[in-house]
Chains A and B, each alone.
Chain A
Amino acid sequence: MDDQRIESHPILQFEKSAVLSFTFDGQPMQGREGDTVASALFANGVQVFGRHFKTKRARGFYCAIGNCSSCLMVVNGKSNVRTCTTYLEEGMVVETQEDRGNLLRKRQVGQALDVSKGASDDV
């Protein structure tokens, strides 16, 4: 799972934190506590986070600071979540977003997966 992570660095030390499980488009994945959703995906080799609603061109990590909207995904049924500034939580359901964000989807996913709380993107 950690093949994209920096394992050794001449100056910085990276403590290995607790493992968190989540799913990406239904596929089970693991990240680390302290990861953002985007960094966990990236560590798992996922680079396409979504597609432009009109052109369907790939979108992924870009600004990494919550400004650019390139990393918007559906998290726990909530659309337009800035995954680069949203901390990963245990059991998160992360999905590729290909539309402009569908408010009505939340209910469907929430019902199917019994997600008790929405994604928090107030990092």
Chain B
Amino acid sequence: MILPKTASVVIVGGGVSGCSIAWNLAHRGVKDIVLLEKETLANGSTGRCGAGIRMQWGAEMNSHLAQYSVRFFEKANETLEYERDIEFDQSGYLIVAANEKEAVQFKKNVALQNRLGIPTVYLTPKEAQEIVPIIDTSQFVAATFCPEDGHLNPFHTTEAFAKSAERLGVKIFKHTEVTGIDVNQGRIEAVETSRGRISTDTVVVAAGGWSKEIGAMAGVDIPIYAQRHQILVTEPLEPVLGPMVMGFDYNIYIQQVPHGSIIMGRSDNTEPRDFRVTSGWRFTEEMTETCSKLLPPLSQVNIIRQWSGHYCMTEDAQPIYGPVPEVNGMYLACGFSGHGFMLAPATGQLITDMILGEPLTIDVSNLDVGRFQRGELVFESSVV
């Protein structure tokens, strides 16, 4: 396939966000869309993530975004006419409160979520154990459970968006690196790539951890940084976990994929803030210790391997959605801070709303890039 000389929209980044944006634009009638990916689809954060989706958030907007995405994923195989399966497993999320302070916040979260129609319940440790029999009730003071949360396969999900987008005419170029962005009098003019130049007036930056570098090509400073996060996977087992189990203060997320392997991760603020995707022994130790305390039988299970990817972090751990004030025609969909995968359907819908100049499906106007300069950060209590 030859790189076109012009495009109506160029999307930078072939992760789940970029592919969702491409599909949404094409689905709503935009022609001549080009998506550029310097490696392969889902090679960055998407293919390395924990791949859970939850509607249990502390802020109303995040709950709305997640709700939109859950509803989309429930029908995604049909909507995207995917011949395989995105493996959306809605066995819920059980979130444990490690202390009273968290439990108080969780009560507020549940009230908010219930008001929005999200069927979360507040549980005692004993009740939580009925859902996850291998959990140690002495390790937490309370839990919340939403049966409609779940997890899905990030590779299939990205592929489903990409294939459907291609059928609608989107041209996807893998192994094609963006090397420059031409701006003329404050307007996007073209995107330079390792395979040639594409004239366009609209660029969407959905390059995950690399978005800052893409922004810099147009002279835009995007206030984000990439930070390494590590994950490990165990040998496959018969179903033992049920829902995804998560704790913020406890610092764990853990899920069993359909194949039987258990995937788990945790956060560490001392992780390097660069593009390293190496793995370290300290994570293995801390992760297995955390996991064995909360779910003791898992201490018997063998680890198969470990890997890492990036969280693309913002100061308030919320995404950046929307146009860049200083460069006309540049839109940002980055800074997802570890929850970009689960928000992908909403991301595609909202960026398309913005590009087409239509009313926003969900009001995310406070997630613009300008909020950092204005000092109007958006706070969310429930992140890991």
A: which residues have CB within 8 A of B? 53, 69, 78-80, 99-104, 106, 118
Q: List 19 A-B contacts (CB under 8 A).
A: A53-B236, A69-B235, A78-B300, A100-B236, A100-B237, A100-B260, A101-B235, A101-B237, A102-B238, A102-B240, A103-B134, A103-B238, A103-B240, A103-B297, A103-B298, A104-B133, A104-B238, A104-B240, A106-B297
B301 touches A (CB below 8 Å) = yes
A101 touches B236 (CB 8 A): yes
A79 touches B237 (CB 8 A): yes
Within 8 A of A (CB), among B275-333: 297-298, 300-302
User: B residues within 8 A CB of A80?
Assistant: 235, 237, 301-302
* Chain A interface SS verdict (over half): loop
Instruction: Report how far A99 CA is from B235 CA in the complex, Å.
Output: 12
Instruction: Report how far A58 CA is from B237 CA in the complex, Å.
Output: 19
User: A residues within 8 A CB of B134?
Assistant: 103-104
B: which residues have CB within 8 A of A? 133-134, 235-238, 240, 260, 297-298, 300-302
Query: Which of A79, A101, A102 has the most chain B CB atoms inside 10 A of its CB?
Result: A101
What is the distance, in angstroms, from A84's C-beta to the closest C-beta of chain B? 14
What is the distance, in angstroms, from B301's C-beta to the closest C-beta of chain A? 7
Asked if A103 meets B260 with Cβ closer than 8 Å, knowing A79-B237, A80-B235, the reply is no
B236 touches A103 (CB 8 A): no
User: A residues within 8 A CB of B238?
Assistant: 99-104
What is the distance, in angstroms, from B263's C-beta to the closest C-beta of chain A? 15
- Nearest neighbor of A69 in chain B, beta-carbon distance: B235
Query: Which of B134, B236, B238, B298 has the most chain A CB atoms inside 10 A of its CB?
Result: B238
User: B residues within 8 A CB of A78?
Assistant: 300
Asked if A118 meets B300 with Cβ closer than 8 Å, knowing A99-B238, A100-B238, A103-B240, the reply is yes
Instruction: Report how far A111 CA is from B165 CA in the complex, Å.
Output: 56
- Nearest neighbor of A104 in chain B, beta-carbon distance: B240
- Nearest neighbor of A118 in chain B, beta-carbon distance: B300
Instruction: Report how far A104 CA is from B301 CA in the complex, Å.
Output: 12
Interface contacts beyond A80-B302, A103-B300: sample of 20 additional A-B pairs, CB < 8 Å, sorted by A = A80-B235, A80-B237, A80-B301, A100-B236, A100-B237, A100-B238, A100-B260, A101-B236, A101-B237, A101-B238, A102-B237, A103-B134, A103-B237, A103-B297, A104-B133, A104-B134, A104-B238, A104-B297, A106-B300, A118-B300
What is the distance, in angstroms, from B375's C-beta to the closest C-beta of chain A? 49
The 9 closest A-B pairs by CB, nearest first: A102-B238, A100-B236, A103-B297, A101-B237, A100-B260, A103-B240, A100-B238, A99-B238, A100-B237
- Nearest neighbor of A101 in chain B, beta-carbon distance: B237
User: A residues within 8 A CB of B235?
Assistant: 69, 80, 101
User: B residues within 8 A CB of A53?
Assistant: 236
